[in-house]
Amino acid sequence: MKREGNIKISSENMMPIIKKWLYSDKDIFLREIVANGIDAITKYKKLVDMGEVTDDGAELCVKISVDKDAKTLTVEDNGIGMTSDEVENYITQIAFSGASDFLEKYEKAGGDGIIGHFGLGFYSAYMVSDDVEIFTKSFKDEPAVHWESDGNSTYSIEDCDRQERGTKIVMHIADEEKEFLDEGTIRTLIRKYCSFMPYNIYLSYKGDGKDKPLNETHPLYTKDPKECTDEEYKKFYTDTFMDFNEPLFWVHLNMDYPFRLKGILYFPKTRNKLELERGMVKLYCNQVFIADNIKEVIPEFLMLLNGVIDCPDIPLNVSRSFLQNDRQVQKISKHITKKVADKLISLFKNDRAKYEECWGDIANFIKFGCIKDNDFYEKVKDIIIYKDLDGKYRTLNEYYGTPEEAPAEGEKAEGDKAEGENKEAEKAEDRKPEIKTVYYVSDELTQAQYIKMFKDAGLNAMVCDNSYIDPHFITFLEYKSPDKVKFARIDADIDGALKEGDSAEDSVIADIFKEAIGDDKLTIKTEKLKNTAVPAIINVNEIMRRYSEMGEIYGMSQGEPAKTLVINLANPIVAKLKDADADKQKFAAYQIYLLALLSYKKLSNEEQTKLIENDLAMMGDYVK
């Protein structure tokens, strides 16, 4: 007997809101409808396992079919099905969850794999449909049911002649949504949202029969890591992310307590090492896709990786699209961070050669992670490495040495001194430790002259050549250890590192350069440098240069920082300037200044022109 009624909604005019704004992306409707079918199959499988029904041997699956002529998209499952009363409860009362009702009844059997809030998810179909029909038959010995509504708060429900157990949803696609009648579009959506659902999903087009399944019901991340090979990990990566560059390495997550979590995080090869490239971490709940890069579960810096995370214990809202605030989510996030840090530490300790080989690809990730997550920094701070001027990788401790450990309490140090001397030693230990200066290179090509001077002086420096992350990271390290380390670029005021003895003043030489250059803003100093071949170098105060560069990054230009021209009194050419006539002094002094600038930065058009003119003049004099 046919009956009619009103869909029960707690507020008036809810249907237009549900149809337009239930989800941020309307194509999620297919995930919801298919996931409901998977839920129905999971419930039926539970009943079979519990012995409440007899398995008929049919393959449990979801079938999707597209009929472009009829303008219908159909999703059919052979799961638990619904009775007429259940349709009234679970469909006509929006957001009443069939899953929770089922779990309450079968609590002892457990509810793993059932996550659907069927009532609300079903209505996502109206985001693309003018009319939706349900044909369903319960596993119970009750008549099949046909339900239909055009989404205007009314419905009809009656018996029908469906013979097979399960539910068929027929969506009559709206004219403005005809893209969802395209086979390619539906295949793309299945791949995006249903790739790992636990029962086979088939697609047929215009009744051409089912093809091979479009999903992987037992994805690699659900397996025991001990059973997975390197080739399987690489294939899963390529298939999932369509990246045909092999990943560097990966972290397989697999735990059941205190929360359930499975997944694989991959460290990809970076295409552009000077930028922070956003990766893709896909979040699943019981193999149902939720969203990419959910910041509540995946810390921001881990989104530079590619990966799959499946956590049945995340608290979803009824649309499965957003997470509710929950301490469990924070614990999950911290655990994922810890496992990634553990993997990096293990690789550093057990295969340092591979770690160093991968450093160019993972350095940005680790540095960004340290800045964004203090727990991560505390775990990995001792495995951060830097390439030195010889091309070797060192940690900070290896670069400037770790202070020797004091004897353990109760032990007597070898060669103990007299009591008075020991007191003096104790006072010395109470003093603040010397702050180590770490020199660094930001551009090996531009700063080649400074590098040569450092090497000739037996000094070393670290290469920090990422203009995006390294300036922030250097400042961050100084903030974390203000009494231990400071950084100075190789062209900064070098505090005697390249100087020979104490400061040497020569006002005559300084005046020659001041007159030749004619720049009142330029500071001119005279020193004796260890390298006699270099007539002059440019120094810029480290702090002021950083302020200037940070201003440029954020679009607040503060102008070029003040420079200091350091004249090398140990250079033979500089030493002869006093004996030259005024014109030659001016010519040579300005040429030395231009050469010093050239070693520091790119010359302006005017400076380049002047340098070339001087070079040509000197060549003309040479060939006379």
454: CATH:
3.40.50.11260
Q: Are residues 318 and 442 in the same domain?
A: no
pLDDT per position as a tens digit, 412-439: 444 444 455 555 555 545 555 678 889 9
Q: Are residues 515 and 470 in the same domain?
A: no
| CA separation for the pair 240, 16 (Å, rounded) | 36
Q: What is the mean pLDDT of residues 281-300?
A: 86
Residues 537 and 569 in one domain: yes
182 in the same domain as 57? yes
Do 565 and 610 fall within a single domain? yes
Specify the number of domains making up the chain: 4
423 belongs to a structural domain:
no
Clarify whether residues 484 and 513 are in a common domain: no
Question: Position of tokens 């939706």?
Answer: 132
Between 465 and 152, name the one with better pLDDT.
Answer: 465
Q: What is the pLDDT of residues 85-132, one digit of tens each?
A: 999 888 877 544 444 554 455 555 454 544 443 346 788 899 899 999
Inside any domain, residue 371:
yes
Q: Are strands 436-441 and 485-489 parallel, antiparallel or unpaired?
A: parallel
Model confidence at 250: pLDDT above 50? yes
Examine the domain organization and report whether 239 and 160 are in the same domain.
Answer: no
Cβ-Cβ contacts under 8 Å for 73 (sequence gap 6 or more): 64, 65, 66, 67, 128, 129, 170, 171, 173, 180, 181, 186
Residue 571 lies in a domain: yes
Give the CATH number, domain containing residue 618.
Answer: 1.20.120.790
Please give the structure tokens belonging to residue 273: 């090492």
Instruction: Find the CATH number of the domain harbouring 322.
Output: 3.30.230.80
Cα separation, 500 vs 528, whole angstroms: 5
pLDDT score of 101: 57
- pLDDT tens profile 313-365: 877 654 445 555 567 788 888 999 999 999 999 999 999 999 999 998 899 89
Answer yes or no: do 193 and 226 share one domain: no
Cα 210 from Cα 189, distance rounded (Å): 17
Beta bridge partners of 487: 438
Find the domain containing 341 and state its range.
220-380
| Residue 12 placed within a domain | yes
Does residue 427 fall inside a structural domain?
no
User: Which of 205, 238, 269 is the C-terminal boundary of a domain?
Assistant: 205
Task: Please give the share of the chain, as a percent, with pLDDT higher than 90.
Answer: 51
CATH label of the domain that carries residue 153: 3.30.565.10
Lowest-confidence segment of 24-33, 377-386, 614-623 by average pLDDT: 614-623
Question: Do 178 and 109 belong together in one domain?
Answer: yes
Domain for residue 195, yes or no? yes
Mean pLDDT of 287-296: 84
Residue 424 lies in a domain: no
pLDDT in tens, 132-182: 999 999 999 999 999 999 877 788 999 999 999 999 999 999 999 999 999
Last residue of a domain, one of 205, 228, 255: 205
Nearest C-alpha neighbor of 220 from the set 257, 187, 265:
265
Same domain, 166 and 286: no
Provide the pLDDT for residue 23.
63
Among 380, 412, 447, the domain-final residue is 380
Q: Are residues 501 and 471 in the same domain?
A: no
Give 370 or 94, the one with higher predicted confidence: 370
Residue 442 placed within a domain: yes
Q: Say whether both 606 and 533 belong to one domain.
A: yes
pLDDT given for residue 117 in this prediction: 39
What's the predicted TM-score (pTM) here? 0.79
Which has more confidence, 94 or 230?
230
Distance CA 16, CA 126 (A): 9
